Amino acid sequence: MSRPRIDYSLYYVTGRSLLPPAPTSYTGPPGDWYLAHLEQALAGGVTVVQVREKDVDGGEFYEVARRSKEVCDRYNVPLFVNDRLDIACLLKCHLHVGQSDLPARLARQLLGPDALLGVSVNTVDEMRLVLDEGVADYVGIGPCFGTQTKKNLNPIMGPRGVRAILEVLGDSEVKAVVIGGITPSTIPNVLAQTPAPLASGGYRHLDGLAVVSSISAAHDPFTAATELRALFLGRKMLPSWNLNASTAALDEQQLVRNAVDMLKLLREGAHKPLVHHITNQVVMNDTANLTLAFGASPIMSSSPDEAPHLSTLISCLLLNLGTITEQQIASQKIAGEAANRNQKPVVFDPVGVGATEYRKKSASDLLNACHVSIIKGNAGEVGALAGLSEVQARGVDSVGAGFKDPASVVRTLAAREKLVVAMSGKVDYVSDGRDVFAIENGSEWQESITGSGCMASACVPCFPASLSLSLCSTAVALFAGLRHESGSLSAAVAGLVAINVAAELAAERADVQGPNTFRAALIDECFRITPDDLARRAKVKKL
């Protein structure tokens, strides 16, 4: 008899201590409220149940598990017992063990070949051991986020830590669920960030979500389970990332045409993207003026209290690491989560991320909290996010000649993070994880002013067809707000081409005598630049 193949999509780990009081409509015995609550959850779509009882004696554990199995059997839903091999054997059900419980290899020997066995993992080494032993049917990866339902002895992983384990799991037949802080508000980000790229060109995805309090503490477990399962099944509606699917139809000529079309929309004034900037104090005035110059509307607010409401109004959110404080990072997390909920694009400029460990941690925390559409940074910043040391950072600037193979760097990071990466420099490189485009526009004057990179990021959200970008970073955000059918890639390219062509036009002016006059001329040319200027001067090449 072979072990059953089951649906792991909604894995409910019970928690009797978290149950709400029974409603007045419940007329059964007080001790049976847990079972009634469980049955409602099963009716709502729970596909797997695990009984976890850490603070009761063996007799009580057995009775809870026995009665839970009776309910689960009515719905043809498999039951797992946490840790207690003896009870799993007595009830002929399945077993889950943690790292401090009975070793998985021994558990399999005693459990026999016909029952399913799950193992908790928190590190890539633990995942490798599970694969080497070859006895587990699935792994529970976590904790993804902090949770009050269990005293976490393991470090919080975040979605990117979960992804690292899925990358080790690869195309193995071992299934994977994620646990720890899995709620309706965190699920979209978890599903967006955790898929891990495979050498074959696809991605390894989670097989299910494991929840505790999201169901056990719910007053209406039927509705809670229905919503949770719908969110997981809705992952099929998320953007599909396939590294073998080339954007052959999107060549450099089409990208330039898209940029021209987006600038026309801005110049016509029918669409005026509202771009929310949470940025640094050094560039705030310049990026706000640049956003206005392109025809978009900036709102410069770092208040965490208004971020959720603003998210319903904006076209794009621009997050700039710049002059970071604890309050600013907290505000950026809240704003990013709200943007994800409201399906608004997020552009992230990781200013100086490689300069200090504090900045690296802040960027990692932010990327774990929300999924961004576009990362725009210089070589040092992109290298730090990619975990490379080939290009070093000094403060917010890159040091040295750059990467030997910049196209590979941006492509690999974009594929891993499932977003668009735009890396600025003498030549800008933009990738969606499949294709890479080089932009050879710009002026040496841009290196002479503070915040030129942040201005580029701010340009992207201004462009009204598909996404909103910012000036270097602003330029990117401007175009991201345009919701163009070709998405983040077009927005990033359009924003960078626009700011760089404007820089060329500014540098040609006779009144530019130094950095300060160039800064003013740059904003003027962002205001004056025409679609014909872009079409005539854009230098975009597909690599």
Catalogue the active-site residues: 472
**What backbone phi and psi angles, to 5 degrees, belong to 496?**
-70, -40
Residue 199 CA to residue 194 CA, distance in Å, equals 16
DSSP 278-340: E--TTTHHHHHHHHHHHT-EEEE---TTTHHHHHTT-SEEEEE-SS--HHHHHHHHHHHHHHH
Q: Which residues fall within 8 angstroms of residue 279, CB to CB, at 6 or more apart?
A: 287, 300, 318, 319, 320, 322, 349, 454, 458
- Of 381, 535, 368, the C-alpha closest to 453 is 381
The encoded tokens of residue 463 equal: 């462009």
The encoded tokens of residue 459 equal: 């340009």
DSSP code at position 414? H
Buried b (16+ CB within 10 A) or exposed e, 313-342: ebbbbbbbbbebeeebbbbbbbbbbbbbbe
Cα 108 to Cα 42, 62, 131: the distances in Å are: 28, 20, 14
What kind and span of H or E run contains 48? strand 48-51
DSSP code at position 134? T
| Whether 402 contacts 379, CB under 8 Å | yes
DSSP 167-234: HHHTT-S-EEEE-SS--TTTHHHHHHH--EE-TTSSEE--SEEEESHHHHT-SSHHHHHHHHHHHHHG
Report helix, strand and coil shares of the chain as percent, to nearest 5: 45, 15, 40
- Of 113, 123, 167, the C-alpha closest to 143 is 123
* Strand partners of residue 79: 49
DSSP 231-268: HHHGGGGSPP--TT---TT--HHHHHHHHHHHHHHHHH
Q: Which residues fall within 8 angstroms of residue 532, CB to CB, at 6 or more apart?
A: none
| Whether 289 contacts 266, CB under 8 Å | no
Q: Which residues fall within 8 angstroms of residue 31, CB to CB, at 6 or more apart?
A: none
Say whether 29 sits in a helix, a strand or coil: coil
